[in-house]
């Protein structure tokens, strides 16, 4: 029994090794080329288990899925004489396995072919368009931060094609005879980045900076104008309030003076003698200054007022005798002057 099992095992091992060498598997998303002594003899596009002649035929797998291509930034010139760097990318796949393997054999060589074809197409199409077409897609109205920027933008170029149309033209130009010659299907081409040349970039930055400074100065002048307007309005209102206050003050003062005059006249009308006496006291009060000598007669009202502790009735105005005053030489000289 053990001998039989051993015999079966020794028979199965070569059979399994031979089966392994005769078969190969094409995975999902792959396609294979069967070569015999370096020459392609079969092309397999469908996944599954397949057979080959062991030790004579070999299998080379290639991608069936979409592959990426990323180019290097290239310096080129637009129609309006602008020097720019354009960085583009694309997606491609092996559409005709037999043609691709016959002419290129590997995916690396396919990438190199696309380097030349896509870069040439990008350069050719961009040379026929202005820079504004590569930067923008439509002529839709943009929203600007200020009216000054909007007025400046109104003088800029108008989009005639747009980036989408440029990318479509690049794809159309690059696809020409690409499938027939190399078996490659170019799925899409896009512009990843657009940059100015270093010298032009500095110039653009300076222009942007000067434009922003001009807008800043415009804002400052508008702010200064608004400040002056507000200040003028405030000063005008303040002057109006002060004028109204001065007018009301004069009116109140005038009414108070009129009331004083009325009350004085009313008081004078009630007792003219007493009012005249008070007037004389005011005269005496203003006359009695420092270093002033008075000569009073015995019947003088002021002397009577100073000597009497009780109430003193004033005389009639005709009976009042003003005192004689002695003045110093200096006061006499100033009086004559």
Boundaries of every domain in the chain: 2-63, 67-196, 271-336
- Report the pLDDT value the prediction gives residue 174, as an integer from 0 to 100: 93
Helix (H, G, I), strand (E, B) or coil at 328: coil
In the chain, what percentage of residues exceed pLDDT 90?
A: 29
pLDDT of 309 higher than 70 = no
- Give residue 73's Cα distance to chain centre: 31
Between CA 222 and CA 147 the distance in angstroms is 12
Between CA 31 and CA 47 the distance in angstroms is 7
pLDDT of 331 higher than 70 = no
- Report the pLDDT value the prediction gives residue 157, as an integer from 0 to 100: 65
- Report the pLDDT value the prediction gives residue 149, as an integer from 0 to 100: 62
Write the CATH number of the domain with boundaries 67-196: 3.30.479.30
30 bridge partner residues: 63
pLDDT of 125 higher than 90 = yes
Tell me the DSSP string of 259-325: HHHHHHHHHHHH-HHHHHHHHHHHHHHHH--TT-EEE--TT-HHHHHHH-SS------GGG--PPEE
Mean of the per-residue pLDDT values of the chain: 81
Name the token pair of 128: 């026929």
Closest CA to 88 of 158, 166, 162: 166
Between CA 194 and CA 271 the distance in angstroms is 108
Highest average pLDDT, of 8-12, 166-170, 275-279, comes from: 166-170
Name the token pair of 81: 């004489």
Give pLDDT tens digits for 54-65. 888 888 889 999
| Mean pLDDT of all residues in 248-275 | 82
* DSSP class of 20: H
Name the token pair of 162: 């747009």
Return the residue matching tokens 């009042």.
320
Name the token pair of 191: 């512009």
pLDDT of 312 higher than 60 = no
Using alpha carbons only, how large is the chain's radius of gyration in Å? 58
């Amino acid at each position: 029994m053990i001998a039989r099992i051993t015999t079966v095992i020794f028979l199965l091992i070569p059979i399994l090794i031979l089966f392994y060498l005769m078969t190969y598997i094409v995975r999902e998303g792959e396609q294979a080329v069967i070569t015999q002594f370096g020459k392609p003899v079969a092309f397999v596009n469908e996944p599954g288990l397949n057979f080959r002649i062991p030790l004579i035929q070999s299998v080379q797998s290639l991608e069936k899925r979409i592959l990426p291509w990323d180019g290097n930034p290239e310096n080129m010139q637009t129609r309006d004489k602008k020097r720019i760097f354009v960085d583009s990318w694309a997606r491609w796949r092996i559409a005709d396995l037999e043609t691709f393997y016959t002419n290129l054999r590997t995916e690396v060589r396919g990438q190199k072919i696309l380097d030349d074809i896509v870069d040439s197409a990008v350069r050719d199409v961009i040379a026929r368009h202005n820079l504004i077409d590569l930067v923008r897609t439509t002529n839709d109205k943009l929203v600007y931060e200020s009216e000054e920027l909007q007025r400046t933008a109104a003088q800029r170029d108008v989009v005639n094609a747009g980036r989408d149309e440029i990318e479509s033209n690049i794809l159309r130009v690059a696809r020409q005879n690409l499938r027939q010659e190399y078996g490659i299907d170019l799925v899409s081409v896009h512009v990843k980045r657009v940059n100015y040349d270093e010298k032009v970039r500095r110039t653009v930055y300076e222009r942007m900076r000067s434009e922003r400074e001009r807008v800043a100065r415009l804002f400052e002048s508008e702010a200064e104008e608004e400040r002056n307007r507000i200040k003028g309005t405030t000063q005008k209102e303040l002057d109006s309030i002060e004028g109204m206050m001065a007018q009301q003050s004069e009116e109140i003062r005038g009414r108070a003076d009129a009331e004083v005059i009325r009350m004085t006249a009313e008081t004078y009308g009630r007792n003219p003698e007493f009012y005249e006496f008070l007037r004389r006291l005011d005269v005496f009060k203003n006359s009695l200054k420092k270093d002033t000598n008075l000569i009073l007669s015995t019947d003088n009202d002021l002397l009577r007022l100073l000597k009497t502790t009780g109430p003193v009735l004033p005389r009639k105005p005709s009976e009042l005798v003003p005192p004689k005053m002695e003045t110093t030489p200096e006061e006499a000289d100033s009086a004559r002057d």
